[in-house]
A and B are shown apart, each in its own frame.
Chain A
Amino acid sequence: MSITAEQTTDAKAKVPKRHVSRLRLRYTLIGWSFILPNFVGFVLLTLIPVVTVFYMSLTNWNIFGSSQFIGLDNFVRLAGDSSFHSAFGNTLYFAVLHIPLTIAVSLGLALLLNSKLRGVAFFRTAAFFPYITSIVAIALVWNLLLSPQYGPVNQVLGFLGLQNPPGWLTSSDWAMPAVVVVETWRRMGYYMVLFLAGLQTVPRELHEAARTDGANALQRFRHVTLPALRPTMFFVTVMLTIESLKILDLIIVLTDGGPGQATTVIAQFIWTKGFEENQFGYSSAASVVLFLLCLIVTIIQFLWNKRKAV
């Protein structure tokens, strides 16, 4: 729909060729002048760092600024680094718990809110509150809520008759599930909105038709709602996957990777090696692994989605 040099010339058929190229140049210049202010910042702060990280991963760059090219040595070291192995495993563990749980909870909430009940606006606002709350407040409140002895959560569990409730963030078995619960609680409002938007595209007539054919609510959900939600589901899954693989801020404020290394994830490994131990080359290698992991998983999801769409 945009105007182009070609279109303009089509209209006034007999314009000399010289004129065409000058027009084209003019639009190129105008176009770039619009993009440039943002583009400069984008190149300097995103594009160059992304390219640099690949180069850095092949060097022994450290705090003293010495940087020799050492080929794939960093990656060989990563392959044998047991703390990286556990960070990698923990990241996948987090993703495997977090993705289905968040989809289930936010889709469930979206379905509830999509029904025509009174007070829906209030519930939607409530669902959004965690998303807009600062992470420091979230971490503190949840840390205290989940505190093993004095925390309200375990007090309630004790009241319900549960002996020896889990130590949550202080227990190496329960810390990761607890982090997942907090992250799900924090993000579900966001994904709920995406699902709600998707639900509005489900054709109402289809629902009515299915109802007349005697399909019950579950059947209608499986055969009408879910297929219509497929694009939304795909987008949500892609976003959730990347978000899970790169999880960092909540872990830093909630557990700082502990107890032991129970909740140390890849992004935190990068953080520790880079900002605390100043091994920039080595941490860049871990960064490249994270980058490739996100890229590969996203590509697989896109291919999968394409195949199912056919």
Chain B
Amino acid sequence: MRLLLLLSWPHARRHLLRTVLTTAGVVLGIAVFVGMYTANQSVLLAFSQTIERIAGKTELQVTAGEAGFGEDVLDTIQSSSLVRVAVPVIEAVVDPQLRSEGDLLVLGIDMTGDRSLRDYDLDSGDEAIVDDPLVFLAQPDSLIVSKDLADRNGLSVGSRLPLQTADGNKNFTVRGIMRPEGLATAFGGNLAIMDVYAAQHMFGRGRTFDRIDLALAPGATIEQAEKELSTLLGPGFDVQAPAGRGRQAEAMVAGYTMMVNISSVFALFIGMFIIYNSFATAVTERRAEIGILRALGATRGQVRRVFLTESLALGLVGSLAGLVAGAIIARGIASAISNLVGELYGVANQATEVATDPLVMAVAIAIGMLTSVVAAAIPARSAARVDPIHALRKGSHQVFSAEESRLRMVIAAGLALVAAASLLASESRLLFFAGYACTIAAAVLVGPTLTVRLTRALRPLLTRIRAVEGALAADSVIQAPRRTSGSVAALMLSLALIIAFGGMARASYGSIVQWMDAFLNPDLFVMPSQRLDVRTTRFPATMAPEIASLPGVERVQMFRNNRIMFRGKPAMVAALEMNSVRETGRSVPVAGNVDEMYAKAAAGTGVIVADIFSQLHDVHLGDVVEIPAPYGTLALPVVGIVVDFVDQQGTVFVDRSVFLEYWHDDTVSDFRVFVASGADLVDVRQRIIERFAGERHVFVLTNDEARQYVLRVADQWFSLMNVQIFIAVLVAILGIVNTLTVSITDRRRELGVLKAVGAVRAQIRGAIWLEAATVAVIGLVLGALLGAINLYYLLEIVQRDAVGLRLDYQYPTGTLLALVPIMLGAALVAALWPSEAAARRSPVEALAYE
């Protein structure tokens, strides 16, 4: 303890900035890991909370995919003696047309029976749910809103609230305000209740319900009721507890979750290297002090304990601050991820709470402290072991021994062999992931050796830029590879992730554009919402002939998509008018004959599946796809496999007649309009809008606008890359600052001599800047190389584990080129303070150091 006070505390006070930098390394490492993980968990938590709070006392829920089912199903369920109460529900996510408000979840319920399942208590205690329940039922514009929403927007009973409906924007009347607890807190409090029959009308649902919530009769068990209702209703219906819907939502975003988890693991590795580097830097910087202590009689154990205690303390402080910073990062990106997931998967959620998992917090703190201790222990141990005289000598400890380098290379080669073998020898996913881990480990191990070799290769270039400064910079890295190894490893991992994401983005864009050219080729899209992903509002089929009769319209196609469960996993059924699509689509199948494919699908004797669906469900040409639907089980062979991006879970394309037969639902998600040659696109668009003005709310998107929308959603998907780039820049700055700080401390005497023999400040500054740039360039080169391998692995994961998307390998040269100025800029920023510190130090002070 005395040693701690003697050595650590004065050092921390004297070198406050260094202490802060070291701690910052821990903070950044932990924050990145916790932030990424927590943001994702927050989104998943929002799903389950919304489902749980809406479910109330519901014991079982009956669903039949997204299309819902006819009202007669309610009678069937109510006829079961095992059911005490069964109430219909419609859910719709709508734009509340309120400034600074996100989407609003509108829950359509039957107030006459629903109160036994859900608690709608108003602000005023046990008062009636609304001022007048009969008025609530009689007036289809009636809404009950949550208190949070009312408070944020100054709403009270009697206020008007505009909502987007199938018939355009309509003003609704607030007739009740719910207390901010239980149900009212679902969907982040952005919740409104309306009558289920009014909801049918407002959202164009015909006479269908989305689901039926039920509570059991006294004495009945969930298993009994599940079994009886499943038998009563048939295979097209899902009868499950509310938690099951939560699991469905999780299954829907499983691919996304996997990608984020990979990012989190990378973030964790990067964080560990940052922490390691920060501590290794801090300890090696004080090697001379260790030598003095040892010379004065301190034992090796004492020295080791001092540094371990110090690293534990800093590790703890940094980890705790990292948790806070991680929570802030999570809060910042959770709502963005939430919106993205909503747009991609159409799953209603609103992440307003940060899901702090105590286990993850504990793991993060443990990782932070452990890495800090290991990072401090290795240099402290070696420093404590060496002779005090050697310890006082600068630089020698930063060199890897030939034996150590050889061992690293041998282990790396072994790991690389294991990785290669795991790819060639087996289809096992476990071996695949083990191989992936071996590849990353091998890259980290060969990093220092490659750093030295690359710097040697760069030396001529550096000396050409600046003869003296270049040589000094290169030699500094070559002579002390240990000093730069942590920074380079962190940079390499960070950049490898960016390169892989960039490659994925490029391949995805390429495929999406090809798909849009082939399939998304109508001139106009007539939709009930500005968003292509909104499926809660639909059109009646009767609009098709009305649009077709407008001047300038050559062809109208009805498109209907509907979320289903296939083999327990979410998928999409898309109903098309196949005979019409075969004449307008130019889709070349991945498997199957194009003419035969469309002919059979149009005849209702086969289905076409998306490549994603084929990959995710291991379904091939000729296989029979069985889809349980509300009115029978659809069982048809796959007659073609096409590349398609309609849905990330994979789509099954059926002829519209087949959909009508098995779902009894003729509503339309959107109309696809082909304009006659010679007709003006703008005029036709205007005619469609005017035809339905005041009658229905229609949005007409041109082909360009639809394409832009699709690409924007793809952009959002890859927006995670921006977070990674930001982290990479931070990693670069922090790593390089650490590296340079040690470098100038180690070379204080050398720099002092240089100044004494006439070197000017600009030369010292230049040498430090070039060293920083060298570290950045090496990080870039190694990151680019590892990124190439990482891209291969990620594409494999995307295809086989996450999304089922077969993407071509295309190295993202553009991303790499864009990273060059970013990383060099980060290096220069990082070098600002160390270069000034070195340049301004007096030569007398530097020479007197020892």
Partners in one complex: no
Residues of B within 8 A of A (CB): none
Residues of A within 8 A of B (CB): none
